[in-house]
A and B are shown apart, each in its own frame.
Chain A
Amino acid sequence: MAAARAVDAGHEVVGVHMALSRNRDEYRTGSRGCCSIEDANDARRAADKLGIPYYVWDLSDEFHDKVVTDFIAEYEAGRTPNPCVRCNEFIKFDTLLERAQALGFDAVVTGHYARIADTPAGQRELHRAHDSSKDQSYVLAVMGPDKLARAIFPLGDVASKSEVRAEAAARGLGLSSKPDSYDICFVADGDTKGFLERAIGPRPGDIVDENGEVVGAHEGAYSFTVGQRRGLRLPRPAADGAPRYVTEVDTARNVVVVGPETLLSVRELVADQVVWLAADVPATSPTPCQVQVRAHGAAVDATVVRVGDTVNVSLAEPMRGVAAGQSAVLYQGTRVLGQGTIGHRP
């Protein structure tokens, strides 16, 4: 549909399907998995109906090296990665864009739900999509200004995804019955834990409480996430009878630390490898903003100070579930100011 709108807007469009999976012959099952033969064929048929050329570009090696390998390495280091962010950072708007530019193209059009706004002053801004329930600006913030200058998101203005589906149906593009894509495209069966276990192997260790007492055992610290409550299998309840949550994943010592809910909350977070989009908002002194720390989380009020490659974010209210390795995306209203990768708690 993004392609259709780009064609309508008068651009010369070609459709490219990125072959990301090394296993070429997978067929799609349910909503998980992408880049299967069926997805490639759906894209081909859409290109046929729009009357645009269609190519398949093999990016499976780059995808494996930069996204899948990074995913496993981050978990091994006790962080919770977001591979969709990495794919945007290294593949969709990097490798793919470079290849396209070498062949004479000016921009990459995707169906992401986000809006680009060009101010009269010539500043390019990234904003949330009109339909905030589908907004994907969180995973796009990593692009940075240069990449953003070469991106087009035709679907950012739509009122809702159902509007997109209806339009697709009207155009005879058989996309309307495709299920939404969720989860991780390279974990076809949705079993991330199993995927990591096969990739990293079992590494049994202790689960300890906030006092350092051993309270349980695990098969690999890497498969736990800060804030997790399920799957701990603690043999004895805590003294106060309240549930235990993972408060820390220490892969160096191969220890998972659990504690009461109160220990989960943070008021401060630090994010590095910052990509800053808002040149007019340097934030070198405390700047009010909102911060989002999960792909489907709400943005909360905060104050940000940017120090070089790092941002220090103070939250107005304590927040749970802040996981190292995730992106922290800073907003002012619908506008993305910048993005960084959350570090471990000091």
Chain B
Amino acid sequence: MRARARTFVRLGDVNRAAYDGAMRHYLDHAARSALRPRAREAWHEASDLVGNPSSLHQSGRAARSRLEDARELVASLLGAHPTEVIFTSGGTEADNIGIVGAWWAHTAADPECRGIVTTAVEHHAALDPVRWLASRHGAHLSVVGVDAHARIEADAVAEAVDASPLPTAVVSVQWVNNEVGTVQPLAQVVEVARRRGVPVHADAVQGVGHMPFDFAASGLASAAMSGHKVGAPVGVGVLLAKRDAALAPVMWGGGQERRLRSGTVDAASAWACAVALEEAVAEARAGVSERLIGWGTRIEQAIHAAAGDAIIHGPSRDHAAPHIVHAIIPGAPAEALLTALDLAHIDASPGAACTAGVIEPSHVVEAMGYGATAAAQTLRLSCGWSTTDADVEALAAALPGAVASARATRGGGTSSDPRTLVG
């Protein structure tokens, strides 16, 4: 341990200084973005509304009015009708309603309609529900593979639907991959599914707010978005769902939100979500994407400089979101690399999920054709509304040392060729 006098250790206090954003370089916006000041103000102001939006009295109506303001604003920003906007607790809940709810609705009408087609690179919020339905409820699951950039082909979805022994209840395809930033060919998927009479749900969590989204034009039956990715508070998200989409609720209660999401809606959170989204969409229109791409390109260069053999997926590719840079760095286990970056005051991500604090090997990287070793040598950096040049330069400065340290740890594997492409 290097000698360092950190005098802010107070017995019994949580050390806030170490978690103070001002001291850190935050490059994990794909996990969550900081709360936008306008969203905080919006929540603060709306939190004075005391009524339950479902109550019939004046106070309830006032809260309801604000909730409907939020709904209309979100609808206008995302090309939807207000009736198609359903507030949830976040993207995960929206995915569950859009996927599990669709499957239940279809199998209730036709027990044989048990097929689900999805991709190998979905976020766990969309992947785990279908796995659960397959293992516990007799869903017939078809998983479409991806290329080395985690991109599917719409034809593969068509083939999966055609080859399924049972009718397909729903096709679930993400819009933007959360680990690698790849944009899927959603329009083509919707087209092939439409011709087969199958509805499509899209996990749009990583795309909304970064790239233009028009729900009406998309042809999707439903889509999920999450507030905390665009600078809204954690705990609020939206399910966009066509009025005639066959959906069932996944939890039951007072029947709020078109009976699809019971429970009192927090008008303040919904309003903050709408305000945050409005700001994000305005920024995207004003060219913030170019700034994100500029940073992303700089990060790609910095990774290449620190590890010439790294496999990098960033916004300079085709079909890539502007805010995510992902890399496979041979010989650098994610666990060690993140520790080293963390000690250098940089907040980064392995991309893959964790179980009990232990990083899982990335199922996305494995689906891209890389082996298990490569899947444990990942790094994801993502920029957002509060990113500064200083953050990106700090990362560039810290990367060479961090990569060297990570490579020096035993147990990272010495794979110098992570490219064990399968077929």
Contacts and interface: CB of A to CB of B under 8 A. Distances in A.
B409 A51 contact: no
A51 B6 contact: yes
B356 A51 contact: no
Nearest to A56: B357
Query: Which size bracket describes the interface of B in this complex?
Result: 20 to 34
Nearest to A104: B405
A40 B15 contact: no
Contacts of B11: 49, 170-172
Interface string B325-356: 00000000001100110110000000000011
Chain A CB within 10 A, most for which of B15, B336, B339:
B339
B1 interface: yes
B1 A6 contact: yes
B410 interface: yes
B125 to A, nearest CB: 19
Contacts of B406: 102-103
A176 interface: no
Interface of A is mostly: mixed
B9 A103 contact: no
Given A40-B356, A56-B358, A102-B405, A51 B18 contact: yes
Given A61-B411, A102-B405, A51 B358 contact: no
Given A51-B10, A171-B11, A107 B343 contact: no
Nearest to B14: A48
A98 interface: yes
Interface stretch (A13-21, A215-223, A328-336): A13-21
B394 interface: no
A106 to B, nearest CB: 6
A53 interface: yes
A17 B12 contact: no
Contacts of B335: 55-58
Nearest to A8: B9
B336 A51 contact: no
B1 A50 contact: no
Interface string B379-413: 00000000000000000000000000110111100
A328 to B, nearest CB: 30
Contacts of A210: none
B5 interface: yes
Contacts of B410: 95, 98-99, 102
B411 A99 contact: yes
B288 interface: no
Contacts of B15: 48-52
B244 interface: no
A19 B6 contact: no
A49 B409 CA distance: 28
A344 B183 CA distance: 65
Interface string B302-346: 000000000000000000000000000000000110011011000
B165 to A, nearest CB: 34
Interface string A34-71: 00010010001000111111011111111000000000
Contact of A19 (B8, B17, B357): B357
9 contacts: A12-B1, A14-B1, A17-B357, A44-B357, A52-B9, A53-B343, A56-B358, A57-B339, A106-B2
Interface of B: 1-6, 8-15, 17-18, 335-336, 339-340, 342-343, 355-359, 405-406, 408-411
